[in-house]
Amino acid sequence: MKNVDMIVKAPHFYTMEGDGVGYRTEVAMVVDGGKIIEIAETGRILANYKGAEELDMDHHAIFPGFIDAHMHTACNIMRGLAQDTNHWMMYGLQPFDNAISDEERDVGSYVAIIEAIKAGTTTLGDYESKMDNVCHFIEKVGARGNITQTIRAAKRRVYQPGELYEFDDELGTESLTRNLALYDRWHNKAGGRIKILFGPQGADFVSPEMLLKIQKIVKERKTKIHMHTQQGDRETYQIVNRYGKRPVAFLESLGYLDESLMAVHLTDCSDEEAAVVAKSGASMILCPGSIAIIDGIVPPSVAFQEAGGNVALGSDQAPGNNCHNIINEMKNVALFNKIKYGNPEVMPAWRALRMATIEGARAVGLGDRVGSLEVGKQADFIAIDLSCPSMLPIFTYPMRNMVPNLVYSARGQEVSLVAVDGMVIMRDGKILTIEEEDYLKTVSRYPAGIGQRAAKEFFEINGTNAQFMAEGKL
Amino acid sequence: MKNVDMIVKAPHFYTMEGDGVGYRTEVAMVVDGGKIIEIAETGRILANYKGAEELDMDHHAIFPGFIDAHMHTACNIMRGLAQDTNHWMMYGLQPFDNAISDEERDVGSYVAIIEAIKAGTTTLGDYESKMDNVCHFIEKVGARGNITQTIRAAKRRVYQPGELYEFDDELGTESLTRNLALYDRWHNKAGGRIKILFGPQGADFVSPEMLLKIQKIVKERKTKIHMHTQQGDRETYQIVNRYGKRPVAFLESLGYLDESLMAVHLTDCSDEEAAVVAKSGASMILCPGSIAIIDGIVPPSVAFQEAGGNVALGSDQAPGNNCHNIINEMKNVALFNKIKYGNPEVMPAWRALRMATIEGARAVGLGDRVGSLEVGKQADFIAIDLSCPSMLPIFTYPMRNMVPNLVYSARGQEVSLVAVDGMVIMRDGKILTIEEEDYLKTVSRYPAGIGQRAAKEFFEINGTNAQFMAEGKL
């Protein structure tokens, strides 16, 4: 009998090994030192191991924890304040974004992270200008963080229509220096759960020289570039007018398309442009709900996959999605693509699940550590309660319906346990590592002040939502 | 002080009065004899009334209960067994549908109804061949039922491609007689909570003579026809080849388009055809998730509304949606139409909410009884817990974000209370009127037997899901 940290027993394991979902039954999983050390027939496991903790997950299925590859959790302080409008950033977000403080961004982040974990996310791909406090929170709560800090040289001021952004090298250098400092403080910290990536906001926001400088830094440090790429007609306009090429072609000519790039959105890409990115070895991050709400567009993730690329899912931000729930994004990517192609066979449930787990892990540079339940990987896993009405009834023969029910019917509350590095951080709807209620209560102190500061600009802009307020529609 | 059954206190009421969301604050709602008798300033209410029950819904918003206008809850016994395939009915549903008994359909229904109520549905628009047991269950659980029984004359046998269905008048008459008997037994029963509608399965499944006979019965009884209408190319083929017209044109020529018709799906309708139906006074029932999964199509509900028609939302059935959750359908209708039109301003959150409440109630013939919180209406309402992470933070100025957060971010577990006719039937995630666990456990006894009976046909057909099973993808 070998003493180990944990034995996980459950009737169903979806390991995501191979090219499907890696279903296994009548097995148990052994966790020690934060890693999966064996998955084998239950009787043999119980004969050979004694677990300090034994999780008996009757009527549950075990899955790898979900990867949310692209989040701006700091924006959660503005949840629900910017959707249902054209020119989302200017007419929706801007009055509030101009009004909020760093402290308010942080308390918004904490709630978003709690929301995401409770819906089964174990790896948080968070991205914002100042990430130290989020790193501290992720360390404390026990999740995994793939953290990026914004690098930007374009001056923040009002630009005339058609005007090219003005680059300020000092701004760019300063933000790059801060990203480097974050890297030095946090990369591989929190027991290795935190990785630091580099975040040029987009090819339109920094000079080519700085893009290349960042690439060199990233390659030396064996980390990744996490960059919004061909994310809309505004970016395309800037790049075409500056360099005479569309963004993907510009990045290709710069030598920027390779495995160190995580290309976020590709909203304004043709299938052919997506294929160029995919074939380079770069990965794609797709935020289906956010891009549907903000732009009414279904980006070319299917073309990207057909060209051999890996695609991860992201929840993006809460004033234009409006949630951080990867189960929701799995549903979205499957349904939106069935609609886009007019074909119910496009993007079946199991493919969406792979994007949320193993394919997502590969896309964000963590494919050797998480995303599947395999010996040697970190023990990031979740348990789905199969006795919830939304999952019932459960069939195993002649067809298993757990994956379709998870993707199309589940909502998040079916996640009854979340573990990262073998530590249970959420159980039965409660985060175990922090006083969750304190964070949920704290955030409610801020809307009154933000509202006061944002009101003048909100009413002056008089966007869709201001009109809805005037008409009694909100 | 007047003694009344109930006083409901909460910081926010969305009454759905007027043409927006009818937001009111600093008010309380008085319920007596199952009806709303006053909504007014809280201090005045407390000075004038004493409630036998006082609901103090701190940190909650009160909404009318949701209308799910079209459900086949009996199919829930097959949840998750039929999606991700072309020819859904033949390749997906058929092997299982042929294998299940009436008893199995009933236990499936009970779980679907529990699921729906817990996500805020108070009016269940259920539709199947045998509805007595569902009526008993709805009576017991305390929900509202808008119940339809299938009328069909087309023989159930294998048809050759291109062959027209063979009508059997005896079959048709028998099913109509049973619908009439159901009407006599249940219409206006369960304290008036159950209404019986009439359900010709589609214009392709019964003769014109029987369609007209049903219409006459419906008009005499002041109830409604609940019929799948131009629901796909299969129906269109049958009607064109039988009558030389597409279904909407055929129904128009028959005098079938008027306010007694609830037209379900309109999947194969052009915008112009949808407008013809809308202008007739008929209503539309839209099942966005189901039709996206089964057909990859977004039906013309926006055109229907623009032509002045009322559209209700439906969750349809669980082997091809795969859930009964109107919050999910609100999200779907908003996002799918933004994508369809490439325009984020199409179908804002408040319009989706109106479809799930007052517009839906009007569409199903209950506009004078439910769908809004107004004096004289039945007290069907739900409470949304605003302290859930998915709803936080809450803004009231300069913009209220509760409706966008409900539609785009909530999942169902935010519904912490459901009342019908002033009786609380669900609180804090538990149905109060039945032993919910018994029903959830009972349904789990059936999949093994169904699977055994369905397996031969499932493997013979060898559809998408059989192939996925063979490939380890489920």
Q: Is A409 on the interface with B (CB under 8 A)?
A: yes
Given the DSSP bridges, would you call strands B415-420 and B423-427 parallel, antiparallel or unpaired? Answer: antiparallel
* Same domain assignment for residues B334 and B392: no
* Same domain assignment for residues A129 and A87: yes
The whole-number pLDDT of residue A424 equals 98
* Same domain assignment for residues B51 and B77: no
ipTM score for this prediction: 0.98
The whole-number pLDDT of residue B70 equals 98
Three-state SS for chain A is: CEEEEEEEECCEEECCCCCCCCEEECEEEEEECCEEEEEEEHHHHHHHEEEEEEEECCCEEEEECEEEEEECHHHHHHCCCCCCCCCHHHHHHHHHHCCCCHHHHHHHHHHHHHHHHHCCEEEEEEEECCCHHHHHHHHHHCCEEEEEEEECCECCCCCCCCCCCCECHHHHHHHHHHHHHHHHHHCCCCCCCEEEEEEECECCCCCHHHHHHHHHHHHHCCCCEEEEECCCHHHHHHHHHHHCCCHHHHHHHCCCCCCCEEEEECCCCCHHHHHHHHHCCCEEEECHHHHHHHHCCCCCHHHHHHCCCCEEECCECCCCCCCCCHHHHHHHHHHHHHHHHCCCCCCCHHHHHHHHCHHHHHHCCCCCCCCCCCCCCECCEEEEECCCHHHCCCCCCCCCCHHHHHHHCCCCCCEEEEEECCEEEEECCEECCCCHHHHHHHHCCCHHHHHHHHHHHHHHHCCHHHHHHHCCCC
- Contacts of residue A137, Cβ cutoff 8 Å, sequence gap at least 6: A106, A109, A110, A113
B335 vs A473: CB contact, 8 Å cut-off? Answer: no
- B376 is a domain residue: yes
- A163 is a domain residue: yes
* Same domain assignment for residues A187 and A323: yes
* Same domain assignment for residues A80 and A185: yes
- B282 is a domain residue: yes
- Of B334, B363, B392, which residue is a domain's last? B363
The whole-number pLDDT of residue A468 equals 98
* Same domain assignment for residues B328 and B226: yes
- For residue B288, the enclosing domain spans 66-363
Which residue does chain B place closest to A326, by CA atoms? B409
Contacts of residue B118 in chain A, CB cutoff 8 Å? 389
Residue A262 bridge partners (DSSP): A226, A283
Interface test with chain A among B85, B338, B442, B473, by most A beta carbons within 10 Å: B473
The whole-number pLDDT of residue A161 equals 82
CATH number at residue A173: 3.20.20.140
The whole-number pLDDT of residue B391 equals 98
* Same domain assignment for residues A103 and A76: yes
* Same domain assignment for residues A349 and A278: yes
* Same domain assignment for residues B177 and B102: yes
A161 burial (CB, 10 Å; 0-12 / 13-18 / 19+) is exposed
Q: Is B323 on the interface with A (CB under 8 A)?
A: yes
Interface of A with B in 107-166 (CB under 8 A): 108, 111-112, 114-115, 118
Does residue B128 contact residue B149 with C-beta atoms inside 8 Å?
yes
* Same domain assignment for residues B280 and B400: no
The whole-number pLDDT of residue A21 equals 98
Q: Is B392 on the interface with A (CB under 8 A)?
A: yes
Interface test with chain B among A75, A84, A335, by most B beta carbons within 10 Å: A84
- B327 is a domain residue: yes
The whole-number pLDDT of residue B429 equals 96
- B458 is a domain residue: no
Calpha distance A280→A437 (Å, rounded): 46
- A420 is a domain residue: yes
The whole-number pLDDT of residue B157 equals 85
CATH number at residue B405: 2.30.40.10
Contacts of residue B83 in chain A, CB cutoff 8 Å? 344, 348-349, 404, 408
Which regions of chain A are under pLDDT 70? none
**How would you write the pLDDT of chain B (474 residues) with one tens digit per residue?**
999 999 999 999 999 999 999 999 999 999 999 999 999 999 999 999 999 999 999 999 999 999 999 999 999 999 999 999 999 998 899 999 999 999 999 999 999 999 999 999 999 999 999 999 999 999 999 999 999 999 999 998 888 888 999 999 999 999 999 999 999 999 999 999 999 999 999 999 999 999 999 999 999 999 999 999 999 999 999 999 999 999 999 999 999 999 999 999 999 999 999 999 999 999 999 999 999 999 999 999 999 999 999 999 999 999 999 999 999 999 999 999 999 999 999 999 999 999 999 999 999 999 999 999 999 999 999 999 999 999 999 999 999 999 999 999 999 999 999 999 999 999 999 999 999 999 999 999 999 999 999 999 999 999 999 999 999 999
- A462 is a domain residue: no
The whole-number pLDDT of residue B159 equals 87
Does residue B193 contact residue B229 with C-beta atoms inside 8 Å?
no
* Same domain assignment for residues A279 and A421: no
* Same domain assignment for residues A206 and A240: yes
Number of domains in chain A: 2
Interface test with chain A among B79, B355, B391, B439, by most A beta carbons within 10 Å: B79
The whole-number pLDDT of residue A160 equals 85
- Of A305, A336, A363, which residue is a domain's last? A363
- Of B342, B363, B384, which residue is a domain's last? B363
Which 8-state DSSP code applies to residue B448?
H
The whole-number pLDDT of residue B56 equals 97
- B249 is a domain residue: yes
